[in-house]
Amino acid sequence: MRMNKKRKKIVIAFSLVTLLVIGSLSVYVFTRKKETEKPVIQPSSETEKVSSSSTASSVEASSELSEDDKNHRKVLNSLEKPNEPADENIRSEVAEAMEAAQKYVNENKDINKLKGDYDNRLLMTDGPMVQTFWIAITVNKYSVEPTQVEAYKSKNGDVVQFICKLKADGKNSCYFVGNYNIYAKQLQLVSYHGGEVGASFG
C-alpha cells in the first residue's frame, strides 16, 4: 500500500512537471510565432511612396492654379529679385506712375499720336509698348489696379522692377512688367502676360 501511495505521488509529481514543461514550451512557441508575424518596415519602398505622393500633390496643386495665378507666377519668376520687395513708398510711386500712364492713354484716341514723355511717365518706354498699353486700356477695357502693383529690388540701385495687374470685366487679368527709375520717376514697360490684349484696325 505504501508503495502504491508513493508511486502515485511520483506519478502525480511527474505529471505536474510534464504539464509545466509542455505549458512553458507552448507559451514560448506562441510568443515566437507572434514576433515573426510582426510586419516588416521597408524604408526604401515607403520613402519612394511618400516621395511619389509629394510629387503628385505638387503637380495636382499646380494644376489647380487659376490662369491668373499661373501668369502671376510666371512674371514673378522673370524678375531679378522676386524675393526682395521694394519699400512701400517706392511701390506707391510706381502705382502713381502707372495711373498717370493710364490717364494719358485714355485721353488720346489716336494710337499713331502716342508718345512717351516726362509727364505721362512713359519717357523710357518704346513706342510699340506704349501702343500695346493703349490697346489694353482703350480697346480691351482693362484698367490699372493701383493696390495690386508690386515692386521689387533689382541688380541696379536706381531701378526697381514692377508687376502691374490690369483687370477687365469678364476677362482674365493682364500683367504688365517693367522697370521704374526711382530718380527719373519714369516707367519702362517691357512686356505683358495673360489676359486678352489685341485689336484690329481697318
In the chain, domain spans: 2-63, 67-193
Q: Which amino acid, 133?
A: F
Task: Give the bridge partners for 162, in sequence order.
Answer: 151, 178
pLDDT at residue 182 in the model:
98
Residue numbers of the chain with a pLDDT score lower than 50 = 2, 28-30, 33-59, 201-202
pLDDT at residue 138 in the model:
96
pLDDT at residue 53 in the model:
47
Judged by DSSP in three states, 61 sits in helix
Torsions phi, psi for 165 (to 5 deg): -90, 125
pLDDT at residue 16 in the model:
64
pLDDT at residue 46 in the model:
42
- How far apart CA 181 and CA 97 sit, in angstroms, is 11
pLDDT at residue 198 in the model:
79
pLDDT at residue 67 in the model:
87
pLDDT at residue 14 in the model:
65
